Amino acid sequence: MAFNDLLLQLGGVGRFQKIQITLVILPVILLASHNTLQNFTAAIPTHHCRPPANTNLSEDGDAEAWLPRDGQGRPESCLLFTSPQRGPPFPNGTGATEPCPHGWIYDNSTFPSTIVTEWDLVCSHRALRQLAQSLYMLGVLLGAMVFGCLADRLGRRKVLIFNYLQTAVSGTCAAFAPNFPVYCAFRLLSGMSIAGVVLNCMTLNVEWMPIHTRACVGTLTGYVYSLGQFLLAGVAYAVPHWRYLQLLVSVPFYAFFIYSWFFIESARWHASSGRLDLTLRNLKRVAWINGKREEGANLSMEALQASLQKELTTGKSQASALELLRCPALRRLFLCLSMLWFATSFAYYGLVMDLQGFGVSIYLIQVIFGAVDLPAKLVSFLVINNVGRRPAQMASLLLAGICILINGVIPQDKSIVRTSLAVLGKGCLASSFNCVFLYTGEVYPTMIRTAVALLPETLGQPLPDTVQDLENRRRGNTRKQQEELQKQMVPLQASAPAKN
């Protein structure tokens, strides 16, 4: 509780916290744009095979003679007759066909330009479209591991500054990519940097806030992300060309990179690293910004050594990611949180990355998916703040799983029912994300905080600064359970009949 007392003494949620948290959260509004950007930049418009070059495309009869029809009378997307077929009103489909040898013709009325139309990622090359998004998500995984470890070693601020620059540069380069492999490479780099932004944004904010405000900060971050989903729908509708859209959501990160140099590094991280001089300097700066100059002036090295004796004692031995497997308490947390992250992410992106599959306007469904987050995250916040993190996490995942399982047995032609269940499931998964982000920041010690019905409750609990803190908390819970069990056994023993 020592560090939390210091924060309260220096203003609690003062001017510094309000300014820095606002500036740190602001880039989150564009994270949704990068995570689900391919719904629009890789949208698949209606298409069919291009007839041979000598075909008069201005004459409908000549062009239609080459196009086989599906069961609903529409041109086949991936087949072309080897020779023109004549027969009213369309070719009768009895001729030999072949995969499109001359390319494709796309309907550009809704999507004038996407990576699909530019590099013909359809038919036999359709899997390449999914490859681009898979590589982006691979980048997210790599970024979480690489930048998470770097943030624990070098500090949150330095890594966050670099992540902003990497996002800006890689996103800009992706917009000017000359070919598909280069585009995929820069999307992978974007995924890495986005993961670093997400982790260090939440960690830096949580470590500068008093205990009673952490749920508010987590929910505010979630709402800013939801606002970004509305923004993406509007921007994608106004800028349908994929290169311009990619550039538009990347350029603002240059501004984020510039002003992030003014962030103040986490004093809690400095203390856990054994740098008491930097801890004192940052706390004095915060006190000055918050208008608590007298309290800041009273801070001294001796006072900090007395208040933060635990951090100084254990901070000199740097913890590593190996502690996740070496320490029993951390090992259990790591396994549980890994399953939570996998279940939430797998289901969430499975829903939000296939907007065209719902059979309605992707711009409309993007807005609906953003709108459902508003009540879902409000309910999540109320449960988190009043009941606890664990019930909120369990309920959100359980409801999401029920919605997805029911959706799997609904017939494809029931589009309204399927879309409604998907929207409800997406809202529950958004609540789960809200909770797991907060959980991850609260249960891990400071030195490994950015590593990734058994998790402990953290409502009202101080942030653990060391691995030993976590072990002590686990032993305290075990001792408490044993004491409660003994209290329950006393009446039973008293009421038991005496033996002769």
pLDDT in tens, 307-317: 766 555 554 44
Query: Binning pLDDT at 50, 70 and 90, where does residue 52 land?
Result: confident
- Mean of pLDDT over the chain: 80
Q: Which amino acid is at 82?
A: T
Task: Report the pLDDT averaged over residues 382-399.
Answer: 84
Backbone angles phi, psi at 134, to 5 degrees: -65, -40
List pLDDT tens digits, range 410-434.
Answer: 887 787 888 888 889 888 888 888 7
Among 11-25, 152-166, 383-397, the least confident range: 383-397
Per-residue confidence at 485, pLDDT binned at 50, 70, 90?
very low
Percent of the chain clearing pLDDT 70 (strictly above)? 80
Per-residue pLDDT band at 89 (split at 50, 70, 90): low
Least confident window among 101-115, 121-135, 224-238, 383-397: 383-397
Between 199 and 81, name the one with better pLDDT: 199
Q: Which carries the bigger pLDDT value, residue 265 or residue 271?
A: 265
Q: Give per-residue pLDDT as tens, 444-462.
A: 665 555 573 334 445 555 5
Q: Are 71 and 65 in contact (CB under 8 A)?
A: no
Which pLDDT does position 188 carry in this prediction?
Answer: 95
Q: pLDDT band at residue 257, thresholds of 50, 70 and 90? A: very high
Q: Residue 194 — pLDDT band, cuts 50, 70, 90?
A: very high
Q: Cα separation of 25 and 289, whole Å?
A: 19
Contacts 24+ apart (CB under 8 A), 288-296: 289/14, 289/15, 289/16, 289/19, 290/10, 290/11, 290/14, 290/15, 290/16, 290/17, 291/11, 291/14, 291/15, 292/9, 292/10, 292/11, 292/14, 295/9, 295/10, 296/10
- Mean pLDDT, residues 316-345 taken together: 71
Q: What's the whole-number mean pLDDT along residues 198-220?
A: 83
Reported pTM: 0.78
Mean of the pLDDT values across residues 287-313? 78
Q: Categorize the per-residue pLDDT at 300 as very low, low, confident or very high, splitting at 50, 70 and 90.
A: confident
CA distance 112 to 43: 10
pLDDT score, position 86: 65
Tens digits of residue pLDDT in 55-79: 665 555 566 777 777 766 777 888 8
Higher pLDDT, 358 or 492: 358
User: For position 158, what pLDDT does the model report?
Assistant: 93
List of residues 6+ apart from 287 with CB closer than 8 A: 10, 11, 293, 295, 296, 299
The pLDDT of 372-381, averaged and rounded, is 85
